[in-house]
Each structure stands twice: as structure tokens, then as C-alpha cells.
Structure 1
Amino acid sequence: METKTEKQKEEKNINQKMEGRSLWADGWIRLKRNKLAMFGMWLIIIICLAAIFAPYITRYDPNEQFIWTEGPSAKLVPPCSKYWFGTDVYGRDIYTRVIYGARISLQIGFAATAISVIIGVILGSIAGYYGGIIDDFISWLTNVIFAFPFLLFVLALVAYLPPSLPLLYMAIGVISWASFARVARGQVIQLKEMEFVEAATAIGSHDKRIIFKHILPNILAPIIVQTTLEIGSIIMLESSLSFLGFGIQPPKPAWGYMISEGKQYFLSGQWWWSVFPGLAIMILVLGFNLFGDGLRDALDPRLKQ
């Protein structure tokens, strides 16, 4: 009986402490309790650090061809102490190319997501706040984006325009805003009827100030969660485009293109050329998905208890 009473007191004290914290502090505490989410966060951190400090953790240049210095013996070498992930048919170190390839995938993932967040949140906020014809048009445009085959749309843009890294993440970002617009619209519709918005309207605040000053800060939590999940999806999309030959062009070390180059040698026993870039994609996307799912649970006020 005494043990039960002590547990109840302890739970009461914990709840009282959590009530005094902000949403973000409370969410961080709940996030730390989610082991899978923390595992995903550490995967992301490790890969980001590897990409940043790539010159210090690899011994070679990603485009260095050792067949010119060591002869044909450096071609398609299996994983060993000298070449941790083996070499490709050109004698390039796959481990080095995988590490440098993380830079490209992360750059496209973050940049394209930032573009889609800006477009989607602005359009979704305008649609949710004003409603009427504006809401109908933006909602119709959002449904069109969702209905059109996403990969084919990107392929059409990339195939028509000259290939370049900025163009690639701009093309992906411009057509991936629909999910952010839908999330922002739903949140704004709920918040625009709240008392603090009515108070801002009553004192004569401009619509632009109400949206950006009062509403947007209160919908950051679901936007951040959607952003985390979207980065993984965009990295997968970029890898698919590179695999098909419409993404990053050689000799830059794109993971998708490395898989495409090595697939013809996979069945003949040279599996490392395509397996290690594939594992890198899987680990990075898994990290973002686990972290995004945990972040969603941590920032959901309905799961506070």
C-alpha cells in the first residue's frame, strides 16, 4: 500500500514538473525516452558528421582512379584492409565515394525540403486563413499535385532542362510542397478561430502580421515533423533519379548512380559496388523516418500523458 502511494506521489510530481515546461522542452523529454527515435537521430548525426569531415576520414579522392597508378589489379578489388568497401571497374575507392556521396544526398534533401516548406506553408496558410475561392483554388492545385505521378513530373523537368545540382533540388522542391500545404492549411483553419487571433484582429493587425507573427509560430511542431519525414522521401527520390540517369551526373559520387553502375556486375560476384551505396541510402532514410516518427509522437499534445 505504501509502495503504491509513493508511486502515485512520484507520478504526480512528474506531471506537475511537465506542466511547467514549454511544449519544446516537454517534447524533448518524451523524445529522449523513445529509443528508436534517438537511434535514428544518432544515425543522422553520424552521417552528417561523416559528410562534413569527409576529407579527414577518407584517404583518397572520390574520383581518383588507381588503375593508372597500380594497373589493372586495382580494378574491382573486393573489400579489404586497403579498400574497405572495395573498388569499382575504374579503380576508384567505393568507401570514399560513399562518404562523399552523403554530401550530395544531404544537400539535395535539405535544400529541396526547404524550398517545398516555404512554398507549401505560405500557400497552405493563405488557403486556411482566407478560405473561399482562394482556398478552393489552392486546394484544387494541391490535389492536382498529389494526383500527378510525382516521379514522372520530376523526370519531365530534369530531362527538359540542363542537368545541374541547383536545378535538381529546385525541381524537386517546387513540386513537393503539397504535403506541407495540406498540413499548414488544416492547422491554420483550427487556429484562426482562437481567441488570440481574434484579439489581434480586433486591435487592427494586418492579415500578413497575423499569419506570420501569431499563427505560423503555433504550427511549427507539425511542420517540423513533416519536414523530417519529407527529407527521407526526397533523398529516396534523388537516388531514384540518379539511378535512372536523370540526377547527379558522373563523375560526382551520387549513391543512386553508383548502384546503377554496379548492378551489371552484381550477378558476376562484384556485389560491393552496388550494395554499399544501397546500404547508405537505407541507413540514412531509416534514420530520418525513425526520428520523424518519434518527433511526431513527442510533439503531439494528445500523447502527453
Structure 2
Amino acid sequence: MADPNQTKRVATRGPMLETPRRNAILKKLNARPTVRGSAIALAVLMLFVLIAPYFAPQNPYDLMALNIMDGRLAPGAESMEGGRYWLGTDSQGRDMLSAILYGLRISLLVGLSAVLLSTLIGSFLGLLAAFKGGWIDTAIMRLVDFILGFPTILVALVLLAVMGRGVDKVVIALVVVQWAHYARIMRGRALQERRKEYIEAAQNLGFPAWRIMLFHLMPNCLSPVMVFATIQIATAIVLEATLSFLGVGVPVTEPSLGLLIASGFEYLLSGDYWISMFPGIALLLLILSINIIGDRMRASLDPR
């Protein structure tokens, strides 16, 4: 005989993503060479991020390791101590290869942290608005409309001007300007699932509201949110790079890719192109890889 508790769980949790469909999605993601190339490029960049302290020739955050006499050396030039700077140095004598590897860590840390916190906050508020309705739904959605009514970069600039510079400050500013997107997407999907039979069955069985929201409604609403979150990682990294380029993002003691690009911008006309070009290429590869994978995920999860 079938276990009634198991039957109850199956009947009230709705149409979860089946294993065959999940395998089909993975097969679609591997179908195009651009997706495979982007996945390989992203994996290589992530590997460099993880091994940066062991692979980088220099710690760019250690001021004692910098030599001003090695400032603005061209790619392939030798240092005063006899070493070689394969990607050149910036105006402070910082090895560009090491700075890029550590800058990737800061950019990815900011992007992933901002997207994770934005997803958690926005998804919870979107679920709450769709499930409860009434004045709670109205209040949350009016707040979402208020936040989305302002330019993202302008709000982030104002917040950082008040809070000051720092990696944690940039993450907070990005969460404030991004969580509303997740709330709107989650609410729209949750309203569709809210009317289905398995939610009504869970309510008739007397399950508490928090359990229905977290264990029955949310798992069936995550697909569009996760795809959007993948694309938003690239957006968060670009926003951080823009803020750092404008001088209100991360501090100079913890340079991200955006700050590295900004530090070499004033030397472009003098011919020192490598100070901005190599961090720009690394940022381009990172953003392009994430966007291609995210766009392909969106197409694969689209039922049409």
C-alpha cells in the first residue's frame, strides 16, 4: 500500500522540474559552440580567481611589494630586481597580471554577493506579496515601483556618496537598486502558481502559510528568477566597474577591474595603453561569458 504521507507530499508540491527535462536543458546548453566556449572561459577565469594568491607573481595590495621605479613599464619589460612583467605595470609599479587576477576576485565577489542578497530579499517579498495579497501586496509593489522609477546608477551614486567607499558599501548599494526586479518577477510567477490545485490542497490540509510559501510555492517559481539572476551577475559587475571608474566604488587599496581601468585612463594618450586595455579585456571576457550562458539558459527554460 502507498504511504499516505508520501501521497500528500506529492499531491501538494506541484509540478517540480523532472530529471528528464533537466537533462534536456543541460543538453541544450551544450549544443552551441559559443556556449561551450563561454563556459570554458568562465571556468578558466574562476580558476584564476581561486588560485590568485598562489599564481600571481605579486600581491598588488601589499604596498611594501611595490616599487615606484617600475612604474608604467611596457608588457614584457624587466623589473629592477630582474623579474619580468608580462602585462606591464601601472603608475605605482603594480604588476598588471597580478592586479587583474586580484581584481577579478573583487569584481566577482561584489557581483555574486549583490545578486545572492538581492535574490533572497526580492524573492521573499515577491512571494509574500503574491500569497498574502491585500494591503501587503499593494505596499510592496508600490515600493518596487518607487525604486524602479529612479535610474539605477543615480541611486547607487547617491547611496555611496552617503555611505562612503568600500566593497561592503558597494554590495549594499547594488542590493538596494536590484532587489525590486526579483520581487516583481517572483510575484508575477507566484500569482500564476497561487491559483493551482496543489496550493489549494495544501491550504485545505491546514499547512501554515510559511510552509506553503517556502516548500510548495517557491520551488515552482524559481526558474525565471534563477535565469534572471545569472544575467544580473554580469549587470552587477558592470555597475561595480562603473562606480569604481567614477571614483565612488571600491577603495584603491582593493582595486577591482573597474578601478584598474580608471587608473590607466589618464595614460592612454601618452601611449601606456596596457594599464587600461588588459583589465578591460578581462572584464569583457567575464561579462560576455556570463551573458551568453545566462541568455542560453533563458532560451532553454522557455517553454515556448
Question: Out of 100, 103, 107, which is 1:101 matched to?
Answer: 103
Counterpart position of 1:30: 28
Task: Quote the residue 1:4 is aligned against.
Answer: none
Distance 1:67 1:87 in 2: 13
Secondary structure in structure 2 of the residue aligned to 1:235: helix
Q: Secondary structure at the match of 2:147?
A: helix
Q: Distance in 1 between matches of 2:213 and 2:115?
A: 21
Q: For residue 265 of structure 1, what is the amino acid of its counterpart?
A: Y
Which among 119, 125, 128 is matched to residue 126 of structure 1? 128
- Tell me, which stretches of 5 or more residues in structure 1 are unaligned? 1-18
- Give 1:64 shift: 5.6
Q: Which runs of 5+ in 2 are unaligned?
A: 1-16, 78-83
1:178 to 155, 177, 180: 180
For residue 111 of structure 1, the aligned residue among 110, 113, 123 is 113
Amino acid at match of 2:74: P
Amino acid at match of 1:244: L
1:3 maps to: none
More moved, 218-227 vs 166-175: 166-175
- Tell me, yes or no, if structure 1 residue 286 matches structure 2 residue 298: no
Alignment CA distance shift 1:68-1:85 (3 Å): closer
| 1:75 and 1:87 in contact (8 A); partners too | yes
Is it true that 1:262 corresponds to 2:264 in the alignment? yes
Query: What is the aligned length?
Result: 282
- State the Cα distance separating 1:291 from its structure 2 match: 0.6
Identity %: 35
Q: What residue in structure 1 maps to residue 76 of structure 2?
A: 80
Q: Using the TM superposition, give the Cα deviation of residue 63 of structure 1 relative to its aligned residue in structure 2, in angstroms.
A: 3.9
Counterpart residue type for residue 35 of structure 1? P
Question: Structure 1 83/28 Cα, relative in aligned 2: closer, same or farther at 3 Å?
Answer: same
Deviation per residue, 1:206-228 (Å, 9 max, x gap): 11111111011111211110110
Q: Distance in 2 between matches of 1:68 and 1:251?
A: 12
2: CA distance between counterparts of 1:44 and 1:126?
35
Q: Is the 8 A contact 1:76 1:88 kept in 2?
A: yes
SS at match of 1:176: helix
- CA drift of 1:42 comes to 2.1
Instruction: Quickly say closer, same or farther: Cα 1:129–1:258, change in 2 above 3 A.
Output: same
Q: Please give the TM-score of this superposition, normalised by the length of structure 2.
A: 0.87
Aligned-pair CA distance for 1:66: 9.5
| Structure 1 contact 158–171 (Cα < 8 Å) conserved | yes
The 5 Å alignment of 1:140-219 reads 140-219=142-221
Residue among 215, 221, 224 paired with 2:223: 221
**2:58 aligned partner:** 60
TM-score of the superposed pair, with normalisation by structure 1:
0.87
Shift in CA distance, 196/68, structure 1 to aligned 2, threshold 3 Å: closer
Question: C-alpha separation between the residues in 2 aligned to 1:57 and 1:109?
Answer: 23
What's the CA shift for 1:26? 2.3
Q: Aligned to 2:37, which of 35, 39, 42?
A: 39
Q: Residue 279 of structure 1: CA displacement?
A: 1.2
Superposition misfits of 4+ residues, deviation over 4 angstroms? 64-69
CA distance in structure 1 between the aligned counterparts of 2:26 and 2:157, rounded to whole angstroms: 39
The residue that corresponds to 2:12 in the other structure is none
Report the 3-state secondary structure (helix = DSSP H, G, I; strand = E; otherwise coil) of the residue aligned with 1:36.
helix
Q: Indicate the larger mover: 81-90 or 98-107.
A: 81-90
String of CA shifts for 1:114-148, please: whole Å, max 9, x gaps.
Answer: 11001110111111222233222222211111111
Task: Give the aligned partner of residue 251 of structure 1.
Answer: 253
Query: How far did residue 38 of structure 1 move?
Result: 2.6
Query: 1:66, 1:91 within 8 Å by CA — same for their partners in 2?
Result: no
Q: In structure 1, what is the Cα distance between the partners aligned to 2:141 and 2:124?
A: 13
Distance 1:99 1:158 in 2: 25
1:4-45 superposed Cα distances (whole Å, 9 cap, x missing partner): xxxxxxxxxxxxxxx984432221122111332332222222
CA distance in 2, matches of 1:257, 1:164: 12
Residue 49 (structure 2) aligned to one of 48, 51, 54? 51
Separation in structure 2 between the aligned mates of residue 139 and residue 149 of structure 1, nearest angstrom: 18
RMSD: 2.0
